[in-house]
Amino acid sequence: MAIHKKDEFSQKEQDLATFAKALSHPARIAILKVLAQKNECICGEIVAVLPLAQSTVSQHLKELKTAGLISGETDGPRSCYCINWKAFEKFITDFNTLFEKLKSVNTKCC
Amino acid sequence: MAIHKKDEFSQKEQDLATFAKALSHPARIAILKVLAQKNECICGEIVAVLPLAQSTVSQHLKELKTAGLISGETDGPRSCYCINWKAFEKFITDFNTLFEKLKSVNTKCC
DNA sequence: ATCTTAGATCGTAAATATACGATAAGTAAA
DNA sequence: TTTACTTATCGTATATTTACGATCTAAGAT
């Protein structure tokens, strides 16, 4: 029980799931928006906008970073984050490819 | 602590997060593939293909259904599931729109 | 009417996610 | 050096997810 079986799926399926998981919380979607709209992607600005504690935002940022969707540099006492477009687009493409493929095969059974 | 604050984000952010969450497990991605590739989208065929117990697959199907990505009809003693393309494409479009928008605004700060 | 089959649901255990406050660690300014 | 500021990390509580076996339900077969 509760022994996770994620590893028994294909790498592509796991990658897509990991990407989706990174986006599966509204706070992380909001963070991505802020990162793109501000020229200076300072952590503090994100904290100011979101209805969450600083430590919680930091945790969400870490998850986005671990998933490879953003990258961060420490800049003096601050941290500068930005979107990792390369990895991001790779996933978007994979998603679209998968769904395009699914759509062409589908034959509406119900 | 642990009082979820998802409701404090915008509806669009919540919708995208819900969609992403539905796709955030490789089993559910695999299920969507099977649903598209088989003409007869019978639950049993999914169970046969996945490395999971019947009850677990049923649970994943329920989550996909709750998220609106698939719909299901009981057909005698069996259950027929299929992909809800309308809702599916709505989300895909929203995703692409969001990311396209983000991309155009970004100015590479780090 | 009973048996079989397919699937959903219940109960449960363990893992993971969410959130916060407190604290640590590092830089900049006084 | 001390102080203030910014962010990361730790500890912790609670909620949710994942997974299974067992059981319930409903339809079809005998």
pLDDT score at A1: 46
Per the domain annotation, does A59 fall within a domain? yes
Per the domain annotation, does B104 fall within a domain? no
* A41·B109 Cβ contact <8 A: yes
pLDDT score at A105: 56
Q: Pick B26's closest partner by Cβ from A9, A32, A105.
A: A9
Classify B82 as helix, strand or coil: strand
pLDDT score at A103: 63
Per the domain annotation, does A47 fall within a domain? yes
Q: Pick B82's closest partner by Cβ from A22, A23, A108.
A: A108
* A28·B14 Cβ contact <8 A: no
Q: How many domains does chain A have?
A: 1
pLDDT score at A75: 78
Q: What region does B53 belong to: left with phi over 0, alpha with psi -120 to 50, or beta?
A: beta
pLDDT score at A97: 79
pLDDT score at A90: 85
Return all residues near B93 (Cβ < 8 A) that are at least 6 apart: none
Per the domain annotation, does B56 fall within a domain? yes
Per the domain annotation, does A67 fall within a domain? yes
pLDDT score at A49: 94
Give nucleotides in strand C with any atom < 7 A to a protein C-beta.
5-22, 26-28
* B11 lies within 8 A of chain A by CB: no
Quick: pLDDT tens for A34-93. 988 775 578 899 999 999 999 999 999 999 999 999 998 887 778 889 888 888 788 878
pLDDT score at B104: 58
Q: Which domain holds residue A76?
A: 25-95
* A105·B36 Cβ contact <8 A: yes
Looking up residue A63, the CATH number of its domain turns out to be 1.10.10.10
CB B80 within 8 A of CB B73: yes
Per the domain annotation, does A108 fall within a domain? no
Quick: pLDDT tens for B12-36. 999 999 999 999 999 999 999 898 8
Per the domain annotation, does A78 fall within a domain? yes
Q: Given the DSSP bridges, would you call strands A78-83 and A70-75 parallel, antiparallel or unpaired?
A: antiparallel
Tokens (6 digits) for A83: 């979107």
Interface of A with B in 29-88 (CB under 8 A): 29-30, 32-33, 36-37, 39-41, 51-52, 71-73, 75, 80-83, 85, 88
Per the domain annotation, does B1 fall within a domain? no
Distance CA B35, CA B20 (A): 18
Q: Which comes out higher in pLDDT, residue B16 or B91? A: B16
pLDDT score at A53: 97
